[in-house]
Structure formats: C-alpha cells, structure tokens
C-alpha cells in the first residue's frame, strides 16, 4: 500500500490495513511512496484537470508527518530481507 491512497485516505485506514495483513494474514506488507509526495512546495503544473490536481496535490503537506507516524507504528526492513530471505 501507499502512494496516493496514503495521502488521500485517513491515516487510520492505512494503519488498519497494514496491521491486518500482519496480524490476520500473518504476512509482511510492502509500503511505497514517491519522493515528490513529501514536497508540498513542488511546482504546480498548469493545465491539469481538477481530478488530476486533486489526486496529485491533496494532502502533500501532511505526508511527511503521516510517514513518520507509520515508521513508528510498525517494524520495517529491506524488501530483500523480508520477502527473499524469509525475514531471517
């Protein structure tokens, strides 16, 4: 999970989803984001539709704090250690 869903939906939903995968499915989860999603001051592209502007720019100012919270709420490791080495 991550990306636009992490910015657009309430933090609690991302946290619940990742916790459910860990707890109920007994599996690790992967989370991703794009570097631009941490930059609320990025240049605005002219001529975008309202839908694209909404999806791209909404909650950019909240992403860094949400990501910090997510890092505190879960254990994290590199993908090769979690998925390829079986988490050893």
What is the per-residue pLDDT across 60-76, written as a single tens digit (0 to 9) for each? 999 999 999 999 999 99
Work out the burial of residue 26: count CB atoms within 10 Å of its CB; fewer than 13 is exposed, 13-18 middle, 19 or more buried.
exposed
> Does position 87 have pLDDT exceeding 70, yes or no?
no
Residue 86: the pLDDT is 59
Query: How many helices and strands (H and E) does the chain possess?
Result: 5, 0
Model pTM score:
0.81
The separation between CA 54 and the C-alpha centre of its own chain, rounded to angstroms, equals 17
Residue 34: the pLDDT is 92
Residue 42: the pLDDT is 94
């Amino acid at each position: 999970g991550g990306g636009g869903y992490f910015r657009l939906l309430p933090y609690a939903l991302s946290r619940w989803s990742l916790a459910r995968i860990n707890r109920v499915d007994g599996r690790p989860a992967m989370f991703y984001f794009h570097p631009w999603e941490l930059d609320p001051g990025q240049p605005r592209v002219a001529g975008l539709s309202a839908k694209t502007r909404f999806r791209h720019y909404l909650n950019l100012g909240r992403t860094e704090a949400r990501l910090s919270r997510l890092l505190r709420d879960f254990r994290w490791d590199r993908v090769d250690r979690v998925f390829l080495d079986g988490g050893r």
